Amino acid sequence: MADLNNVAIDEKIDWSKIEVKPELISRAKKLEGVNEQKLALKISNIDAFYGKIQALRRVSFGVPEGSIVSLLGANGAGKTTTLRVISGLVHAAAGKIEFFDEDITNLSPEKITRKGIIQVPEGRQVFPELTVEENLKIGSYSIKQSNAERSKSLDMIYTFFPKLKQRRAQVAATLSGGEQQMLAIGRGLMGKPRVLLLDEPSLGLAPIIVKEIFEIIKMLNRETGTTILLVEQNATKALKISHFGFVLETGRVTIGDKAEVLLNNEDIKKAYLGGGH
Ligand code: ATP
């Protein structure tokens, strides 16, 4: 019998077919600030453009310290653009981004990285000619670290990703897709992030590898307390390890709630395998 849990990983939600109930929208608005918790990131009313094309429209949501927040939505909804605005790679034409109450809107990417916001880009982008360990060390140069701190970080990453330890001397080009994704996350961790921005870590990977990577992300969050903003199309898998979820549709946040509430939402469930997930 098919493993429904694994099948669901590859199913994409067609958000345009989901009728969004007004109460969910109002919950999304309330959750923008996730008021009762200290926010690592507060995104308020962000607009962003590529030339004349508006990619984000008054995007607002909060990422509580120590949590995993999923940003979900279809292709082209604006998920990657949101991450790029946070990390300073795309200009915010309007709105505000706060990092632990400090206004960081439109600071340079270098300054934002140094503050501890590190993006792991979509498509992994490891250095193919360099070894696993050299790739990891590159991640540590975004902030000042002593050699002792660097080797402590390496040990920590090898604990989370034993496969990388086995392959530390291997060039990255010869790693599997899953191992490259682990390397990309590990490289991000070498910069000691306070907030890790993960752009579609499941992209192009087999369900079993996706499961492994999501388990590691969950463990990382639990063991190190690193705040994680996770962009994903695999909504079920992402929500299962998240505390909160926000849905972007054509540049707007339309749904926001605790992950468990979204997972049990009938409208969202209906988009999966005729009701199951
Ligand atoms: P995907 O899951 O496909 O990565 P996404 O939700 O991350 O999608 P974005 O990549 O943020 O979406 O794209 C949002 C909108 O901005 C889309 O309409 C896209 O075509 C447009 N866009 C993204 N990058 C550029 C660019 N460099 N130049 C012009 N338009 C762009």
What does the alpha-carbon distance between residue 180 and residue 11 come to, in Å, rounded to a whole number? 23
- Of the chain, the end-to-end C-alpha distance in Å amounts to 15
Q: Which pLDDT does position 165 carry in this prediction?
A: 95
Dump pLDDT digits (tens) for 115-132. 999 999 888 789 999 999
81 lines ligand 1 (CB under 6 A): yes
* pLDDT reading at 23 higher than 60: no
Residues 6+ apart with CB under 8 A from 166: none
The domain made up of 66-88+107-275 has a fold known as: Rossmann fold (3.40.50)
50, pLDDT greater than 60:
yes
Supply the pLDDT for residue 7: 32
Burial of 225 (0-12, 13-18, 19+ CB in 10 A): exposed
Cβ of residue 2 lying under 6 Å from some atom of ligand 1: no
- pLDDT > 60? residue 33: no
Using the mean position of ligand 1's atoms as its centre, give its distance from the Cα of residue 49 in Å: 10
Q: Torsion angle of alpha carbons 253, 258, 261, 266, nearest 10°?
A: 10
Residue nearest to atom 29 of ligand 1 (CA): 50
Half-sphere exposure of 244 (CA within 13 A, CB side): 25
pLDDT score at 261 = 87
**Residue 2's pLDDT band (boundaries 50, 70, 90)?**
very low
What pLDDT is recorded for position 256? 86
The answer, yes or no, to whether any atom of ligand 1 lies below 6 A from the CB of 76, is: yes
Residue spans of the domains in the chain: they are 66-88+107-275
Ligand 1 close to Cβ of residue 90 (< 6 A): no
Q: Which of the listed residues 12, 49, 71, 80 should we mutate to test ligand 1's pocket, taking the one with most ligand atoms within 8 A of CB?
A: 80
Q: pLDDT grade, residue 275 (50/70/90)?
A: very low
Segment 222-235 shows an average pLDDT of 91
Q: Is the CB of 50 under 6 A from ligand 1?
A: yes
Closest CA to 90 of 121, 47, 60: 47
77 in contact with ligand 1, CB cutoff 6 A: yes
State the distance from the centre of ligand 1 to the C-alpha of 137, rounded, in angstroms: 30
Which residues are paired to 40 by β-bridges?
A: none
Distance 56 CA to ligand 1 centre (A): 10
Residue 197 Cβ contacting ligand 1 at under 6 Å: no
Distances (CA, A) of 256 to 94, 156, 196, 253, 262: 21, 33, 20, 8, 8
Distance between Cα 78 and ligand 1 center (Å)? 6
| Residue ID of nearest Cα to ligand 1 atom 20 | 76
